[in-house]
Copies of this chain bind each other. A is one copy, B any other.
Amino acid sequence: MASTIAPGVEHDKPKPGEPVLRCDSCAVRNRAVCGALSRTEIAQLNAIAHTKTFAPGQIVYGEDEDVHFFANIVAGAVKLTKALSDGREQIVGLQFASDFLGRPFRARSPFHAEAVTTSQLCMFDKAKFERLVREHQGLEHRLFQHALDELDAAEEWMLLLGRKSAGEKVASFLLMVAKRMHVIGCHGPSEGPQRFDLPLTRAAIADYLGLTIETVSRQFTRLKAEKIIGLEGARTVILISADRLRAAAERSD
């Protein structure tokens, strides 16, 4: 899941006399796709953008619904799900701050998108954003690379869904969340105990891992009993040993 988004162009501060843009103080200015744009281009994007806050459970896109905007996630977490007609549900993507939401040049959303924590989205009108994409190859390039990152993540998850045991799935999930919340690095050895909050309920974790709530809960208590993690309430995880968690994510015994 290595991010290969290239460092953007130089991000000029506003020159004396130039207007100050909201983007200048944006928390994800450099990590998000906007990083591909020059100051004048950012000004154009700024003109079509507006931010909106979504409460947990609030729907961003309905499945198969016409889409009229794209968005950068500024803060929070959004789950992307697909459902079978009888209600079975699978989370097919989990997006965090700086991720781009939406499928450029597609009319309909192939998934249901819903905020899982209070989330701030920086939204762009679809048609206007697509015009900007056509005019700036750098932006399309950045979106393309982001799509390839998502594809890598999806393939990694297919391996998990198809071939890992419940215990490995839950351990892998904890590692993924710790990484994406910048609690641990991608490859470094184990550090001291770290604490972080899970953005998802047990039900959502189950939908992400292709398991039931009960199985997820049992695996949490097992990891706790093995002293690989600690729990403070249901949502706060204390990472006791990142190394042993990595081992649990791919047991080869």
**Which A positions have Cβ atoms within 8 angstroms of B?**
4, 80, 82-86, 88-90, 92-93, 103-106, 110-111, 137, 140-141, 143-145, 147-148, 150-152, 154-159, 161-164, 207, 209-210, 250, 252
The interface centre, meaning the residue of A90, A92, A141, A162 with most chain B CB atoms within 10 A of its CB, is A162
The interface centre, meaning the residue of A106, A154, A157 with most chain B CB atoms within 10 A of its CB, is A154
Tell me the bound Cα distance from A140 to B143 in angstroms.
Answer: 11
Tell me the bound Cα distance from A140 to B145 in angstroms.
Answer: 11
Q: Report which of B93, B151, B209 forms a contact with A162, defined as CB distance below 8 A.
A: B209
Q: Report which of B85, B158, B209 forms a contact with A250, defined as CB distance below 8 A.
A: B85
Closest to A153 in B: B154
Residues of B within 8 A of A106 (CB): 4, 148
A84 lies within 8 A of B155 (CB)? no
**Shortest beta-carbon distance, A36 to chain B, in Å?**
13
Tell me the bound Cα distance from A145 to B92 in angstroms.
Answer: 19
B151 lies within 8 A of A4 (CB)? no
B154 lies within 8 A of A151 (CB)? yes
Residues of B within 8 A of A145 (CB): 105
Given A105-B145, A106-B148, A161-B210: 13 more A-B contacts, CB < 8 Å: A4-B105, A84-B164, A92-B158, A104-B144, A111-B155, A144-B147, A147-B148, A151-B154, A154-B154, A157-B158, A161-B161, A162-B209, A163-B210
The interface centre, meaning the residue of A82, A156, A158 with most chain B CB atoms within 10 A of its CB, is A158
**Shortest beta-carbon distance, A25 to chain B, in Å?**
30
A159 lies within 8 A of B82 (CB)? yes
Closest 5 CB pairs of A and B: A162-B210, A86-B252, A161-B161, A154-B154, A92-B155
Tell me the bound Cα distance from A45 to B156 in angstroms.
Answer: 32
Q: Report which of B88, B150, B159 forms a contact with A151, defined as CB distance below 8 A.
A: B150
B151 lies within 8 A of A147 (CB)? yes
B151 lies within 8 A of A90 (CB)? no
Residues of B within 8 A of A209 (CB): 162
